[in-house]
């Protein structure tokens, strides 16, 4: 495995392995994995492969760890606050991404955090094994 797999997939697996026993013993737990929009759009090769594997891991863990533990993932699209860094590499990317996004803007870090907090709340008791894109529709293909 290369660095993309170590950071994005292996880390999620090892964290689940470490946290699950305590959650099981407590009779309750929430695991939230970080996928990415690149899992749905074939634009980042090995990184997209690692994030796709995180989605599969999320589904498998939901089956293995339920009912005490719910396991979900969030898949952010391009994060607005990363715009300046990306613009240094490709000055046209942010504007193109916004034009391509039906919501007309990029997701913020706070919006991702809010979704994660909600998934950890009692309101999400019956949501498990899902990956929730939070990208304003960016992943949809347009012609």
Which pLDDT score, from 0 to 100, does residue 92 have?
95
pLDDT of residue 2 exceeding 80, the answer is: no
**pLDDT bracket for residue 143 (50, 70, 90):** low
**pLDDT bracket for residue 7 (50, 70, 90):** confident
| Averaged pLDDT for residues 112-137 | 97
Which pLDDT score, from 0 to 100, does residue 1 have?
63
Kindly report, residue by residue over 24-69, the tens digit of the pLDDT: 999 999 999 999 988 877 766 788 888 999 999 999 999 999 999 9
Domains in the chain and their CATH numbers?
3-134 (3.40.50.720)
The closest of 77, 94, 6 to 40, measured between CA atoms, is: 77
* From 12, 32, 38, 47, the catalytic residue: 47
Which pLDDT score, from 0 to 100, does residue 141 have?
74
pLDDT of residue 4 exceeding 90, the answer is: no
Contacts of residue 55, Cβ cutoff 8 Å, sequence gap at least 6: 35, 39, 73, 75, 131
The question of whether 13 is a catalytic residue gets the answer no
Strand order in the sheet with 131-134: 29-34, 69-76, 131-134
Contacts of residue 140, Cβ cutoff 8 Å, sequence gap at least 6: 102
Kindly report, residue by residue over 66-100, the tens digit of the pLDDT: 999 999 999 999 999 999 999 999 999 999 999 98
């Amino acid at each position: 495995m290369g660095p993309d797999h170590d950071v994005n997939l292996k880390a999620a697996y090892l964290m689940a392995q470490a946290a699950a026993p305590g959650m099981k013993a407590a009779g309750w737990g929430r695991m939230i994995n970080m996928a990415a929009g690149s899992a749905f759009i074939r634009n980042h090769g090995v990184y997209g492969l690692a994030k796709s594997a995180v989605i599969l891991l999320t589904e498998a863990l939901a089956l293995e760890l339920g009912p005490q533990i719910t396991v979900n993932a969030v898949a952010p699209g391009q994060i607005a606050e990363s715009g300046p860094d990306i613009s240094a590499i490709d000055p046209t990317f942010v504007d193109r991404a916004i034009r391509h996004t039906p919501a007309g803007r990029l997701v913020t870090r706070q919006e991702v955090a809010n979704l994660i907090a909600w998934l950890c709340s009692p309101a999400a008791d019956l949501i498990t094994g899902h990956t929730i894109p939070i990208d304003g529709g960016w992943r949809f293909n347009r012609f």
